[in-house]
Amino acid sequence: MFPSETMQLPFVAAILIGWLGGVHCLGMCGGIVSALTLSVPEARRPALLLAYNAGRCLTYMLLGALAGFLGFAGVSVLGLGPKVFFALANLLLVGMGLYLMGWPLFVRPLELGGQHLWRYIEPLARRFFPVTTPFRALIVGLAWGFLPCGLVYSALATAVATSNPLTGLLWMAGFALGTLPNLLLAGWLGAGVLNKLRQSALRWLAGGLVAAWGLYGIAQLLELS
């Protein structure tokens, strides 16, 4: 039912984008994770931290499946070719790279759009505070997956290029996997410790690599044209 041969971005790219984008995640989500875990006894932190991130990653994956389906609808209903989505995906990678380097011009509209949805979801998540059990942490994580983050929303927009719900789910699973190291460390050490990395030249390196990946994809597309 869904196309099997489309111009796809490699799965490893999603992991690397999530990991490199961690310098941004520390600023937006690191403080949240620290607040959820550092206020409870150390023996209970691992379970809460894992539950929170499981919920967050599950939301990413489900939204990725929805994005892939929307891409499929665009191909089948609107007649858009895979090259259109592939070009969009790589342009968004460039935008993500610039976003990480502190130039959010191309990604900010996505982030602002997500703020409208977040106004309805955030109060629901607040009902499960304080987070004292893994179940509460899971629910909060599911809600926090909708946090208006330009990096996440750009990754979702990129998932549209897969034109396949399963592939979109896997793309966002890779992205979620890439974000885990930074946020797990933030839960253990505190965002303040790791946030120093965000202020260093590392964010420029990460942004440059992501943008270069997008430019490489655009160059490939031009060669095929």
> Is 134 or 1 the better-scoring residue by pLDDT?
134
Per-residue confidence (pLDDT) for residue 135, from 0 to 100 = 94
CA distance 178 to 161: 20
Each residue's pLDDT tens digit, 69-78? 998 888 777 7
Residue 8 φ then ψ, to 5°: -110, 150
**Count of alpha carbons within 13 Å of 213, Cβ hemisphere only?**
23
> DSSP state, 29?
T
Three-state DSSP state, 149: coil
What's the chain's length in residues?
225
pTM more than 0.85: no
Distances (CA, A) of 33 to 3, 7, 130, 169: 38, 36, 13, 24
Per-residue confidence (pLDDT) for residue 6, from 0 to 100 = 44
Residues 13, 148, 108, CA angle at the centre, nearest 5°? 75
* Residue 144 near residue 56 (C-beta atoms within 8 A): yes
Residue 223 φ then ψ, to 5°: -65, -30
Confidence category of residue 4, pLDDT binned at 50, 70, 90: very low
Per-residue confidence (pLDDT) for residue 8, from 0 to 100 = 54
Each residue's pLDDT tens digit, 157-191? 888 888 889 999 999 999 999 988 877 776 665 55
Q: Is the pLDDT of residue 94 over 60?
A: yes
Tokens 């610039």, residue located? 98
Tokens of 38: 């550092």
Letter for the amino acid at 10? P
> DSSP state, 161?
G
Per-residue confidence (pLDDT) for residue 3, from 0 to 100 = 46
Each residue's pLDDT tens digit, 53-69? 999 999 999 999 999 99
Per-residue confidence (pLDDT) for residue 7, from 0 to 100 = 46
Mean pLDDT for all residues in the chain: 79
Q: Is the pLDDT of residue 198 over 80?
A: no
Q: Residues of the chain with pLDDT > 70: what percent? A: 77
Q: Residues of the chain with pLDDT > 90: what percent? A: 19
Each residue's pLDDT tens digit, 5-19? 444 566 777 888 888
Angle between the 82-100 and 202-224 helix axes, to the nearest 10 degrees?
Answer: 160
Per-residue confidence (pLDDT) for residue 110, from 0 to 100 = 74
Confidence category of residue 32, pLDDT binned at 50, 70, 90: low
Summarize the confidence of residues 141-161 as an average pLDDT: 86
Among 16-30, 174-188, 198-212, name the most confident range.
Answer: 174-188
Q: Is the pLDDT of residue 35 over 80?
A: no
In our burial notation (b when 16+ CB lie closer than 10 A, e otherwise), range 192-221 reads: eebbebbeeeebeebbeebbebbeebbeee
